[in-house]
Amino acid sequence: MWIASQWQDYELLDCSSGEKLERWGDYTLVRPDPQAIWQTRRTDPGWRHPAGKYTRSESGGGQWDKGRLPESWNVRYGDLTFHVKPMNFKHTGLFPEQAVNWDWAMAQIRNAGRPISVLNLFAYTGAATAACLKAGASVCHVDAAKGMVAWAKENAALSGVIDRPVRWIVDDCAKFVEREIRRGRRYDAIIMDPPSYGRGPGGEVWKLETNLWPFVELVRGVLSDDPLFVLLNSYTTGLSASTIGYVCDSIFTKKYGGRSESQELGLPVTASGLALPCGASCRWTCK
């Protein structure tokens, strides 16, 4: 498991009975987590008086009790700063377990010894974009949601990289990649964080189990002749790290050589000393 253990402004204090208690900067949150199926005793007093709590509804969805939470606030990770706020479907705009991938991508870019161009697809609020820019890469940031791209620009400004070479694209990721192939544009590194389920602008249904393979095959068409890495993330229940590793090996290793490594992502739990599984990633490198 790849564990994001270098946080100072984020801490997973405890988790049990389908919920997790987290510290985001100065504020504690309680949010649902389907992985936390154990029913251990909750000794941390933060469980009783969190600053905010998201509760699922029996009819679907859920709602925040924002209690003592501000509308938004900032958290730092190393030299990066991110804007977080309570959102629909329990989210905060940041996935802290991905920090271990930010560190890895930054090291790959800094050690490359040459200019690196990165394509970040399904790029959300741009944490990986800010990390790659901070490491010295140029980045093309693509997300279909205009609001998420605006938020990503905020994070880039907070992290001091808004003036770095970056393209902000609001578009369907597959359609954008198809156009980039026709234009002959290529990238040295690709980051993909595709959703489990979604709908395109024309009502097209995206289901990861069905669409992942053809999408990753398509993306191979914008990889340069001297690629550095591909990073593929998945939060789909039942889609294992080994599965996405096989996808990358079959599509990238078969053409370019290199190797892939896939693992679960995890966050250390202060109360138990264990790690909470939080999705999976595959890292493919050409050398």
Q: Are residues 125 and 249 located together in one domain of the fold? A: yes
Q: Are residues 46 and 135 located together in one domain of the fold? A: no
Q: Are residues 129 and 70 located together in one domain of the fold? A: no
**Mean pLDDT, residues 57-75 taken together:** 89
Q: Are residues 273 and 199 located together in one domain of the fold? A: yes
90, 120, 145 - which closes a domain: 90
| Exposure string over 17-36, b if 16+ CB within 10 A, otherwise e | eebbbbbbeebbbbbebeeb
25, 60, 90 - which closes a domain: 90
Q: Are residues 122 and 66 located together in one domain of the fold? A: no
Q: Are residues 54 and 133 located together in one domain of the fold? A: no
Range of the domain at 81: 2-90
- The beta strand positions in the chain, using DSSP E, are 2-3, 10-16, 19-24, 27-32, 52-56, 62-65, 73-77, 80-84, 117-121, 138-143, 166-170, 189-192, 197-199, 205-207, 229-234, 259-268, 275-285
Report the distance separating Cα 10 and Cα 242, nearest Å. 28
The pTM of the full predicted model, rounded to 2 decimals, is 0.94
Query: What tens digit of pLDDT does each residue of 76-124 get?
Result: 999 999 999 999 889 999 999 999 999 999 999 999 999 999 999 999 9
What pLDDT is recorded for position 57?
A: 83
What pLDDT is recorded for position 220?
A: 97
Amino acid identity for residue 74 in this structure: N
Q: Are residues 195 and 220 located together in one domain of the fold? A: yes
Query: What tens digit of pLDDT does each residue of 25-57 get?
Result: 999 999 999 999 999 999 999 999 999 999 988
Q: Are residues 45 and 150 located together in one domain of the fold? A: no
Q: Is the pLDDT of residue 69 over 90?
A: yes
Q: How many domains does the chain have?
A: 2
Q: Which of 283, 281, 278, 282 is nearest to 91 (CA)?
A: 278
75, 90, 105 - which closes a domain: 90
Amino acid identity for residue 33 in this structure: D
Q: Which residues contact 60 (CB under 8 A, 6 or more apart)?
A: none
Q: Are residues 28 and 111 located together in one domain of the fold? A: no
> To 10 degrees, the CA torsion angle through 33, 37, 40, 43?
10
Query: What tens digit of pLDDT does each residue of 207-222 get?
Result: 777 889 999 999 999 9
Q: What are phi and psi of 151, to 5 degrees?
A: -65, -40
Query: What tens digit of pLDDT does each residue of 154-203 get?
Result: 999 999 999 999 999 999 999 999 999 999 999 999 999 988 777 666 67
Q: Are residues 74 and 114 located together in one domain of the fold? A: no
Report the distance separating Cα 247 and Cα 61, nearest Å. 32
What pLDDT is recorded for position 61?
A: 81
User: In which band, very low, low, confident or very high, does the pLDDT at 277 lie, cut at 50, 70 and 90?
Assistant: very high
- Residue 66: give its domain's CATH number: 2.60.40.1180
Q: Are residues 156 and 74 located together in one domain of the fold? A: no
